[in-house]
Amino acid sequence: MLRDTRAWHQVVLIVWVLVSYLLIRSHYLEPLHQAWPVILPTRYWTEDGLVNLATFTTNVGILDQSVGVGMGVGKASEEQLYGLVAEGDLPWFTSPSVDLNDLRTRYGANRLINAFRTTLPDPILQEEYNVATAAAYLAGTIVQPREVFSLNRAIGPRTKNRGFGPGPLYVNGTIGSTIGGGICKVATTMYNVAIHSDLPVIERHPHSMLVPYVPPGRDATVLWGSKDLQFINNRDHPLVIWAEMWDHTLYIAIYGQYDPPLVEWYSEEVSRIPTWTIRRKNSTLEPGETRLIEGAEGVSVKTWINIDCPSLPLVEKYLGMDSYRPLPNYLEYGP
């Protein structure tokens, strides 16, 4: 009897220790992890795609098609990496595929609702190929009235058998690879075209770090089995989605039967977390040679949009606050 009582007390003690650890971690260690990443090691985490190398310097302001995004930390973009696309500027406008024409005719999608593009500044591994493969699966998706669109369902699992190759992802603050890595560019582009098309987004996840192709608050990531991008077709007719990859640029268009409102993006910076520098040896460098791989500060932003419909009052819609972790600088040196 005494032995059973001691065993029970041990179980209670173990449970108490575990619960105490979780409470201390959530209330104390996690804030320290965010505030002083140079002291506490970063957690292991992965995401579907390359999720860093951008800078954000605007405190409050409109984020429209004239705002550039850096192609790397501290580097200015020579061309616009994202934006709305007029119908005549779509690469398939002059010679659309038979499938697109057939779908638009069959479902009465007689007008372009909106189209959006994002450009991959520096594709890694088979990232561009993965984005093109995902776009091919997405192209031709039909969203019926009151149906919930799911990007994961539209694209399907990212496996070798379905044509995906190794692409970039971040593991513990460094670039790794995974099958299908990089398709979060599809999620980001789809998210922006859905917002501009005035479609209610019911699920969207930001990256853990900044991305190089859209401003903070306008990105979206997906992860098979856990993170999705979803919106509702709140119109009375079907929507046709088409997507293609042309010259490092992804285009996604939505066709239907209505005129969308004018949508303007706004963002306010709430806080910043400084980055730090890590020294590491690189055997490919010459003795005495060094190379700096610049990181980025962490940032939290609030994002909202103004929706301007003809003959209706202007509507302001709050989209939420996103927090992006800092990425350390890496100072590499030769042996």
In a domain, 289, yes or no: no
Report residue 255 as tokens.
Answer: 């066709």
Q: Looking at the domain assignment, is residue 71 inside a domain?
A: yes
Q: What is the pTM of this model?
A: 0.76
- Residue at 288 is within a domain: no
* pLDDT tens digits for range 12-47: 777 776 666 655 544 444 333 333 333 333 332 333
Contacts by residues 321-324 (CB-CB < 8 Å, ≥ 24 positions apart): 321/270, 322/206, 322/216, 322/217, 323/206, 323/298, 323/299, 324/206, 324/207, 324/208, 324/209, 324/210, 324/216, 324/298, 324/299, 324/300
Share of the chain above pLDDT 70, in %: 76
- What's the mean pLDDT in 147-161? 96
Helix (H, G, I), strand (E, B) or coil at 154: helix
Between residues 319 and 42, the one the model is more confident about: 319
Share of the chain above pLDDT 90, in %: 61
In a domain, 168, yes or no: yes
302-308-314-318 Cα dihedral, nearest 10 degrees: -20
Over residues 145-149, the mean pLDDT reads 98
Q: What is the DSSP letter of 223?
A: B
Is residue 314's pLDDT more than 50? Answer: yes
Give how many domains the chain has, as a whole number. 1
- Classify residue 92: in a domain, yes or no: yes
Owning domain of residue 151: 60-260
29 DSSP assignment: I
Q: For the chain, how far is it from start to end, CA to CA, in angstroms?
A: 65
What is the reported pLDDT for 316? 96
221 domain residue, yes or no: yes
Whole-number pLDDT of residue 76: 33
Nearest in space to 182 (alpha carbons), one of 244, 250, 84, 251 = 250
What is the structure's pLDDT at 27? Answer: 42
- Cα-Cα-Cα-Cα torsion 124, 217, 155, 165, nearest 10 degrees, comes to 10
Q: What are the tens digits of pLDDT across the range 33-91?
A: 333 333 333 332 333 333 233 333 333 443 433 232 222 332 334 458 999 999 999 99
Q: Assign residue 71 a region: left if phi > 0, alpha if psi is -120 to 50, beta otherwise?
A: alpha
In a domain, 43, yes or no: no
Q: Is residue 51 part of a domain?
A: no
Alpha-carbon gap, residue 206 to 56, rounded angstroms: 15
Of 45-54, 144-153, 180-189, which range is least confident?
45-54
pLDDT of residue 235: 97
3-class state of residue 286 by DSSP: coil
